[in-house]
Amino acid sequence: MKRIIIIAIISICLFHLGSQAQDTTSGTIFPKGTKTTANFTGTVWVKTLVPIDSTFHCVVGTVTFEPGARSYWHTHNAGQILLVTDGTGYTQEKGKAIRVVHKGDTIICPPNVEHWHGAAPGSSMTHISIIPNADKGVVTWLRPVTDQEYNGPKAN
Ligand code: MN
């Protein structure tokens, strides 16, 4: 009887440890990578998952923006696909209202359209970035997104 109780207690402890380990990684599918400051405002983490090469011509990475953090305005010569994997964020194309995006949303950034992407003020945001035909150029950085622009009208 004692043995069964001990086994039961150990099982409960292991289960508890297991669920704790899961909790600390919830929302984190890929490694966060390293902090970067160039061409971003606020705290941003970048991890390259697929580097440019001559077979796929495609750059894939994950970017995590802490609340309020965002990229500078920029363009992609061949466009970009963003898959939001966690949190809530903002994205905006020049001349349009800000689109609020959530985990599970897809963002298409057409070639050579000025835009930016980042986290909402009260939430972090993580997205996968896919840049196809990367031999045409990956990114051209422009200027920071001002607080006025970041706090501008939302489309949704
Ligand atoms: Mn972009």
Q: Quote the pLDDT of residue 1.
A: 54
Q: Quote the pLDDT of residue 9.
A: 43
Please say whether the beta carbons of 84 and 107 come within 8 A. yes
Dist. CA 36 → ligand 1 center (Å): 15
Query: What's the predicted TM-score (pTM) here?
Result: 0.82
Q: Quote the pLDDT of residue 3.
A: 55
Tell me the residues surrounding ligand 1 (ion) with CB < 5 Å: 80, 109
Dist. CA 4 → ligand 1 center (Å): 57
Dist. CA 24 → ligand 1 center (Å): 28
The ranges assigned to domains in the chain are 28-150
CA–CA separation, 98 and 70 (whole Å): 13
Q: Quote the pLDDT of residue 16.
A: 45
Please say whether the beta carbons of 35 and 69 come within 8 A. no
pLDDT by residue for the chain (156 residues), tens only, comes to: 555 444 444 444 344 444 444 333 445 789 999 999 899 999 999 999 999 999 999 999 999 999 999 999 999 999 999 999 999 999 999 999 999 999 999 999 999 999 999 999 999 999 999 999 999 999 999 999 999 999 999 998
Which tokens go with 55? 């077979």
CA–CA separation, 86 and 25 (whole Å): 11
CA–CA separation, 122 and 35 (whole Å): 20
CA–CA separation, 76 and 99 (whole Å): 19
* Residue position matching structure tokens 């983490």: 45
CATH superfamily of this structure's domain 28-150: Jelly Rolls (2.60.120.10)
Dist. CA 26 → ligand 1 center (Å): 25
